[in-house]
Structure 1
């Protein structure tokens, strides 16, 4: 796989911090789909995969609607879900980063049009696809997320970057690693009650 380019070399909107933010949502969606599985009622890898996909779509949509990240928008809410990072279209799938399927390599018309806009009509966008591959282990848990830039029907890899789930500040020797906060689906913890004062 290509490892000589980074996402931001292809487009400045694709920063590490932004890709980490979205990737953590994908990772958490997979975790929560597994955590909510009802194996005794018939859940299996397929139903959990569908739920993880739906959870991820929902979380990205909610984060975009909150407006705290003005670089994030949703272009297509259907099952061909496409989100935008400062106008650059990205899709995600579950599977090995080095074996994208024909379905993964299929470009939607809206995606192609948006990519042309993001690259201001530059020929460099021709046949280019941006994907986030959610790789899973034998238990179905997300093991890593890889950003891919693929080109053409054969899906030639122009960039494969394993997204770190932590972001370091500029001076890691002084500042410890900072973990990005996940979108919380649970209510915040209750405030501790104050005890009575001693007489």
Structure 2
């Protein structure tokens, strides 16, 4: 399997991963804000919108000069280094039909042995495929170059584990073991209550009485 950058020099791993990070962050934020009446459909729609808006916002930010917006509508198409890219929720093995309909037909791509011998690399459909798990979490994100038949010619596995925060409790801190001195143990010779009463009696005996004070 070829790397996208082997076909198109503008599609570098750093750029692909940078967009992938935006998508994973946006989708994770949607999952974190899930409402009681949400369904898979409503979450999917909101995730698509948030991912789109996240990419649009980044396209006008410093450091993303290579990122552009081709179509900001619900059809949403953006560009990486001038190459059009879209996205869908699913796996690379089952791309959406509307994604494939944009591909240009190149029957010779069905024979992968001929691909590296082509003098001119044909146009492919470049897309991010976001795969989610039972709870809606992102389990895989791939950047693929597809033919109109859905055959994957180039692929980049986006390292999503580097983008997702580990599951830890709020306020979690790492504590180091501390050496404490051994506790002193002993047997009390006299119960506390009796010791207090004994002390009070001795105090009363030592204090001068009212009669002695009056005699003075």
The alignment's TM-score, normalised by the length of structure 2, stands at 0.65
Between the aligned partners of 1:146 and 1:18, the Cα distance in structure 2 is 13
- How far does the alpha carbon of each residue in 1:150-183 deviate from its partner, in whole angstroms, 9 at most, with x for none? 012x1221012211237xxxxxxxxxxxx6799x
Match of 1:92 among 87, 90, 95: 87
The residue aligned with 2:185 is none
Match of 2:73 among 71, 78, 83: 78
The CA RMSD measured in Å over matched residues stands at: 2.3
The residue aligned with 2:96 is 101
Give the length in aligned residue pairs.
151
Please say if residues 81 and 91 of structure 1, whose CA atoms lie closer than 8 Å, have aligned partners that are also in contact.
yes
Which consecutive aligned stretches of 4+ in structure 1 deviate over 2 angstroms post-superposition?
122-126, 179-182
The residue aligned with 1:7 is 4
Please say if residues 21 and 180 of structure 1, whose CA atoms lie closer than 8 Å, have aligned partners that are also in contact.
no
User: Are 1:25 and 2:22 an aligned pair?
Assistant: yes
Please say if residues 24 and 164 of structure 2, whose CA atoms lie closer than 8 Å, have aligned partners that are also in contact.
no
3-state SS in 1 of match to 2:160: coil
The residue aligned with 2:177 is none
The residue aligned with 2:147 is 151
What's the CA shift for 1:103?
2.0
> 5+ unaligned residues in a row in structure 2: which ranges?
105-118, 166-216
> 5+ unaligned residues in a row in structure 1: which ranges?
110-121, 167-178, 183-199
For residues 108-127 of structure 1, the aligned pairs below 5 Å read: 124-126=121-123
What's the CA shift for 1:31?
0.7
What's the CA shift for 1:10?
1.1
Q: Which protein has the larger Cα radius of gyration, Structure 1 or Structure 2? A: 2
Q: Which protein has greater RCO, CA pairs closer than 8 Å, 6+ apart?
A: 1
Please say if residues 25 and 163 of structure 2, whose CA atoms lie closer than 8 Å, have aligned partners that are also in contact.
no
The residue aligned with 2:116 is none
The alignment's TM-score, normalised by the length of structure 1, stands at 0.70
For residues 161-176 of structure 1, the aligned pairs below 5 Å read: 161-165=156-160
Between the aligned partners of 1:80 and 1:31, the Cα distance in structure 2 is 22
